[in-house]
Chain A
């Protein structure tokens, strides 16, 4: 069965410093992987997705993620944090074994200090 682990429940950074949100996955098939962002009391917005094309995926708002099969990881990065990046981030995996029903990680809360 597919699963996803977000290694940190909270990540705290200063504005202008790099962001790293970690995600490891488990899948017996070729997975699709997604990162979503959720601002308080809002719906989820897709940041980026990996679907077996390029392993380095660029998303919106300067975020990117690299699919590393050998490490079963799909970490989200951004070179310079902005105050508006403060939000909850979800890593999501989907594969044929799970009937393509997305499985969500527990979420990582990104806190950005001025």
Chain B
């Protein structure tokens, strides 16, 4: 199984809502990533988990809260978002983050709209 799954596919939320994005992989990968992608732009790295520990936080606002409950799952908890947070949120995984030869496997993304 070389698939990364993400749920939901689409999410519309108000600025006062709390919601969560979910990502799952069963490839035995020990590095997992959250990216934010705006239209016609490359993905921007938000967070990296390595062996279930938060390894990188790219100065992301605290209204985004990541969580890695186990080696297969990655969540992104959302609270009090702003309209400018509307974007495609991509999850990715790789074998590890300590070697450059490991390509990333991407999920299909969650299209988030904040009203």
Contact = CB atoms under 8 A, between A and B. Distances in A.
- State whether these chains interact: yes
Given A42-B108, A44-B106, A107-B41, A100 B90 contact: no
Interface string A78-102: 0000000000101000111001111
Contacts of B59: none
B11 to A, nearest CB: 14
B112 to A, nearest CB: 13
Interface stretch (B12-20, B42-50, B65-73, B74-82): B42-50
B48 A101 contact: yes
A100 B99 CA distance: 6
B100 A43 contact: no
A46 B106 CA distance: 9
Which DSSP category, helix, strand, loop or mixed, fits chain B's interface? loop
Interface string A19-53: 00000000000011010100001111110010100
A44 B89 CA distance: 12
Contacts, number: 57
Contacts of A101: 45, 48, 56, 97
B46 to A, nearest CB: 12
Contacts of B98: 100
A83 B110 CA distance: 26
A63 interface: no
A94 B31 CA distance: 15
Q: Which of B99, B101, B105 is the most central at the interface, judged by chain A CB atoms within 10 Å of its CB?
A: B101
Interface of A: 31-32, 34, 36, 41-46, 49, 51, 88, 90, 94-96, 99-102, 104-107, 109
18 contacts: A32-B100, A32-B101, A36-B106, A41-B88, A42-B109, A43-B4, A44-B92, A45-B106, A46-B105, A94-B100, A95-B100, A99-B97, A100-B99, A100-B100, A105-B42, A106-B41, A107-B42, A109-B40
Given A31-B100, A42-B109, A44-B92, 18 more contacts: A32-B101, A34-B103, A41-B109, A43-B4, A43-B90, A43-B106, A43-B107, A43-B109, A46-B104, A46-B105, A88-B40, A90-B42, A100-B99, A100-B100, A100-B102, A102-B45, A104-B42, A104-B43
